[in-house]
Amino acid sequence: MTVVRAQPYLYTFDTRTTALVVIDMQRDFIEPGGFGEALGNDVSRLEAIVPAVAELLDVCRKARMMIVHTREAHRPDLSDCPPSKLGRGHAHLRIGDRGPMGRILIKGEPGHAIVSGAAPAAGELVLDKPGKGAFYATSLHSDLIAAGITHLVVAGVTTEVCVQSTLREANDRGYECLLIEEATESYFPAFKAATLDMVRAQGGIVGWTAHLADFAGALEKARETHVS
């Protein structure tokens, strides 16, 4: 078992039954010209966490953990995009419109790709999801059950939208979830802070939060103990 200093208390997990889930580290949310910017956001805040996500991927790969990447994406004919989602807001570019990185949030377009700094490696699961939560209309739950996964380490963007939705969906399905603070970000600092507080409040009502250094250090210590 690996034990990490976390809030509201220690998080204990077995790397063999824990998956890293990285949410929507896509060009459309992180790079200028995508959906995030079309909604009026400063995307540089999100770009700044790419090195932290890369480090998290690296330590989880070294620990041979299951790794899942998600992308928020729709079919080119938008048949999986409800009118409520399509019509929401006053963006100058809407889902399906053509922007500098191709059609916004459409599978296979340049903006749909995960940023190179957090790119999936061969053998890692990559799931497209039409909603905010990664469990809605995807095979994620059955994939995790098939792999014997009971614990999830979660990262990605944005903290209060797709990351929080996924954490809540996972919690309701019985997963023990740890959110890594430096490897998640929001366009709104106050929303990130509030989400971290909401997740770990009331004795961890949704899950735990931990710093990347504590998580990476715990994995490293477990590796040294194993080797010696």
Q: Which of residues 42-101 bind ligand C5J (CB under 6 A)?
A: 72
- Per-residue binding string, ligand C5J, 175-214, x by CB under 6 A, is ----------------------------------------
State how far the Cα of 101 lies from the Cα of 98, in Å rounded to an integer: 8
State how far the Cα of 132 lies from the Cα of 115, in Å rounded to an integer: 19
Q: Measured between alpha carbons, how far is residue 180 from residues 21, 32, 112, 136 in Å?
A: 11, 25, 24, 22
Closest distance between ligand C5J and the C-beta of residue 60, in Å?
20
CB 23 within 8 Å of CB 70: yes
Binding ligand C5J (rule: CB under 6 A), the pick from 24, 109, 169, 176 is 24
How many residues touch ligand C5J under the rule CB under 6 A: the total is 7
State how far the Cα of 166 lies from the Cα of 178, in Å rounded to an integer: 12
> Nearer Cβ to ligand C5J, position 15 or 70?
70
Closest distance between ligand C5J and the C-beta of residue 167, in Å?
12
Binding ligand C5J (rule: CB under 6 A), the pick from 13, 29, 135, 208 is 29
- Any catalytic annotation for residue 60? no
Binding ligand C5J (rule: CB under 6 A), the pick from 21, 157, 167, 210 is 157
Peptide linkage before 158 cis (omega within 30 of 0) = yes
| Tokens of residue 226, six digits | 């194993």
Closest distance between ligand C5J and the C-beta of residue 141, in Å?
19
Of the listed pieces 13-21, 158-166, 174-182, 192-200, which binds ligand C5J according to CB under 6 A?
158-166
State how far the Cα of 43 lies from the Cα of 56, in Å rounded to an integer: 21
Of the listed pieces 1-9, 116-124, 154-162, 198-206, which binds ligand C5J according to CB under 6 A?
154-162
> Nearer Cβ to ligand C5J, position 162 or 183?
162
Residue 31 found at the interface with ligand C5J (CB under 6 A): no
State how far the Cα of 183 lies from the Cα of 8, in Å rounded to an integer: 18
CB 63 within 8 Å of CB 139: no
State how far the Cα of 73 lies from the Cα of 13, in Å rounded to an integer: 31
Query: Which member of 28, 81, 132, 162 is catalytic?
Result: 162
Task: Tell me how far apart the 2 most distant CA atoms of the chain are, in Å.
Answer: 59
Strand duo 2-4 + 11-13: pairing? antiparallel
Binding ligand C5J (rule: CB under 6 A), the pick from 21, 118, 161, 179 is 161
Kindly list the catalytic residues.
24, 129, 162
User: Given the rule CB under 6 A, which residues bind ligand C5J?
Assistant: 24, 29, 72, 157-158, 161-162
